[in-house]
Amino acid sequence: MIAQLTGTVAAVGEAYAVVDVNGVGYAVHAGAHTLANLKVGSQAVLAISTIVREDSITLHGFNTAEERDLFELLQSAQRIGPRIARDAIEVLRPDALRYAIATGDTATLSRIPGVGKKGAERIVLDLADKIGPVDPHGVPKQGGGRPGGWRTQVSQGLQALGWTAKEAETAIEKLDAEGADGQDVPTLLKQAIRLLGKR
């Protein structure tokens, strides 16, 4: 299996690049973030995921081994193929994607093209225990609003303090109705506690 290519960029298309390695041109499928770093005539090092089918061998290229490994992990979820896996990394980027899976943030995962609510739930179910540790500090807030996965974190925080899942859900619905942006999870948790009354 090809895991890395180092060579000269011979061509760049809308969804692929050709990398010349010692006179052999390899067609590599890639997303916009990867292609943006490739210039014809320049040297490139790409992490590669090789997909072998009965009638084809396809190379998918990424800027980092982390992106490639996440691409391969996503495909271990039911009904997630190479196209959706690559789109997921493009739309959400690795840190936000890993964090959304780890925290069960199906709303964020539903932004991936081709993934609806049920698909997002399936990704969480299949991958949450495989995603490994995540760093919430490295995850950007979505669209300048509240951080991704805040509902799950607030719910868990409330339940740890003694409220029921139903009570937590009620508080989160009230926070949703308020709709204030730019608040971090600790602030949202304090507001939820205030809404429910200190226990």
Which among 22, 38, 40 is positioned nearest to 30, based on CA atoms? Answer: 38
Each residue's pLDDT tens digit, 75-131: 999 999 999 999 999 888 899 999 999 999 999 999 999 999 999 999 999 999 898
Main-chain dihedrals φ then ψ at residue 31, nearest 5 degrees: -90, 175
From-to residues of CATH 2.40.50.140 in the chain: 4-62
For 150-197, CATH gives 1.10.8
Fold of 4-62: OB fold (Dihydrolipoamide Acetyltransferase, E2P) (2.40.50)
pTM flag (> 0.85)? no
- Contact criterion met (CB below 8 Å) for 83 and 16: no
CATH superfamily of 65-128: 5' to 3' exonuclease, C-terminal subdomain (1.10.150.20)
**Half-sphere exposure at residue 68, Cβ-oriented, CA atoms within 13 angstroms:** 20
Which among 188, 89, 96 is positioned nearest to 138, based on CA atoms? Answer: 96
Which among 85, 112, 145 is positioned nearest to 120, based on CA atoms? Answer: 112
Categorize the per-residue pLDDT at 147 as very low, low, confident or very high, splitting at 50, 70 and 90.
low
